[in-house]
Amino acid sequence: MEDYAERIVGRAIDLGCQDAVADVSVNRSYQIRFAQNQIVISNRWRETTASAFLVYKKRVVASDIKDFTRLDAQVDNLVKIAKASQENPDYGGIAKGPFKYDRLSVDKKIVDLSDGYDHVDAAVNGALEEGAKECAGSFWKYDEEHYLRTSNGVNAYDHRANLYLSIRALVSLESSGHGVACATKLSQFDPEKAGHKAGKIAALAKSPKSGEAGKFDIIFDPLIFGSLIDQVGGHAGAWTVMAGLSPFAKKVGKRIASEAVTLIDDGSADSIGRKRFDAEGVPTKRNVVVQKGILKTYLHNTSTAKKFKAKTTGNAGLVSPDTHAMVCKPGDWTRDEIFEECKDGLWLTNTWYTRYQSYVTGDFSTIPRDGIFRIKKGEVVGTWKDIRLTDNLINVWKSVEGLSKNVDQVQWWGEVYVPTFAPYALARKIGITRSAE
């Protein structure tokens, strides 16, 4: 595979390109989807993809190549396209290698895992034991190798393998809960716990009544808090800021969250998002994005860093910077203390469909799903349904008062795009709306 990467870079340079990057990835992932407590389909992939990034006189072309029998012809075509394209004056080059990388290894037991049926059974049985009637979800074994070459001296290899399971448990259509399990080591993978969590929430959420609009203190479960963390990470990308798609423009050095909040993007830490390098080959590292509520940096590749007179943060994607894995620094509250401090509010366990009216102001709404619980004096006193969190992203973050000591690694379809370490959180006076009568 390194030969393919070498060939793409070499040929592009021979044809006149100044910069070239090729990341050849070999995907051997496997998935089991289940619904109604049974397996509905199993999927297996055997794919090799070369992601290429070529620059001719600041004319940038990106591509994914799948047909390796026509590799040279496709590179020739990409260079031809680059030559016909327009100059990007904002283009600032790619990082200068070579770099030293941490020695990372994958758990061979995960690589050798040939199926995941026992893990699915463990999750489903865990939920059923709690009283769930119906379970659906996915088990994933991710197994990907990356061979990266750049025209600036990078020659790197990474093997990424991990396990993931997502389970939604339902007692009825409106009584449901969600749990996830993430692990980079087979011995740490606990789908049963995810099943129990989903089942427990579903059982507790029985007979919900329509919720009310107003301002409420909110206890965020790690899954929904992970979604809010994901929103910060996604909007901290420098490219996103430049495109008008972020509320964080001109806010570096300013408060965007309460003092309780420190958020870090860290592709180098042990998580299912761990990777040795970004798309330019820059070693991933710990980047403090928000420190005690103050926005410290945007996430950069080499080009955006030059534009903002900063240094690359090692977050290059093929074209624009990406987050790798977000970490919320734990607080000093126990989970029980967070609940005790909520005298009159709600406990939200999951959400989806987060959308913005204005990205520059951060006005948004998101729809809690799965268990929504009315909390009084720290105790669950009822179950709600049919509400919407309608507020402003920065306001929500400024309203965070306390975080739990323990964090869970979460990732979820559609809402928590990158792996995120999230605690329980308590936020004050958050806007809730509902459908009109």
Pick out residues in 372-391 that bind another protein (CB under 8 A).
386, 388
Binding mask 223-242 for another protein (x = CB under 8 A): ----------------x--x
Binding mask 249-288 for another protein (x = CB under 8 A): ----------------------------------------
Q: How far apart (Å, rounded) are the C-alpha atoms in residues 270 and 106?
A: 11
Work out how close the CB of 87 gets to another protein at its nearest, in angstroms, rounded to a whole number: 8
Touching another protein, residues 302-331 (CB under 8 A): 319-320
Q: How far apart (Å, rounded) are the C-alpha atoms in residues 249 and 238?
A: 9
Touching another protein, residues 195-214 (CB under 8 A): none
Work out how close the CB of 342 gets to another protein at its nearest, in angstroms, rounded to a whole number: 24
The per-residue b/e assignment along 14-42, b for 16 or more CB within 10 angstroms, e otherwise, is ebebbbbbbbbbeebebbbbbeebebeee
In the block, tokens 């959400």 appear at 351
Q: Which of 3, 14, 38, 259 binds another protein (CB under 8 A)?
A: 38
CA dihedral 289, 293, 294, 300 (to 10 degrees): 10
Interface with another protein, residue 247, by CB under 8 A: no
Q: Which of 2, 13, 18, 42 binds another protein (CB under 8 A)?
A: 42
Touching another protein, residues 154-173 (CB under 8 A): 166-168, 170, 173
Interface with another protein, residue 26, by CB under 8 A: no
Q: How far apart (Å, rounded) are the C-alpha atoms in residues 247 and 328?
A: 19
* Size of the chain in residues: 437
Q: How far apart (Å, rounded) are the C-alpha atoms in residues 167 and 124?
A: 8
SS3 state of residue 424: strand
Q: How far apart (Å, rounded) are the C-alpha atoms in residues 373 and 201?
A: 10
Work out how close the CB of 237 gets to another protein at its nearest, in angstroms, rounded to a whole number: 13
Piece in contact with another protein (CB under 8 A), picked from 4-12, 185-193, 199-207, 352-360? 352-360
Interface with another protein, residue 353, by CB under 8 A: yes
Instruction: Using the minimum distance from each CB to another protein, give the nearer residue, 168 or 324.
Output: 168
Evaluate whether 234 touches 243 at the Cβ level (below 8 Å).
no
Instruction: Using the minimum distance from each CB to another protein, give the nearer residue, 44 or 376.
Output: 44
Work out how close the CB of 190 gets to another protein at its nearest, in angstroms, rounded to a whole number: 18
Pick the closest to residue 52 from 284, 324, 283, 318 (CA basis). 318
Work out how close the CB of 234 gets to another protein at its nearest, in angstroms, rounded to a whole number: 15
The dihedral sign for the CA sequence 216, 256, 286, 274: positive
Q: Which of 112, 207, 413, 429 binds another protein (CB under 8 A)?
A: 413
Work out how close the CB of 341 gets to another protein at its nearest, in angstroms, rounded to a whole number: 28
Verify cis geometry, omega within 30 degrees of 0, for the bond prior to 283: no
The dihedral sign for the CA sequence 339, 341, 342, 343: positive
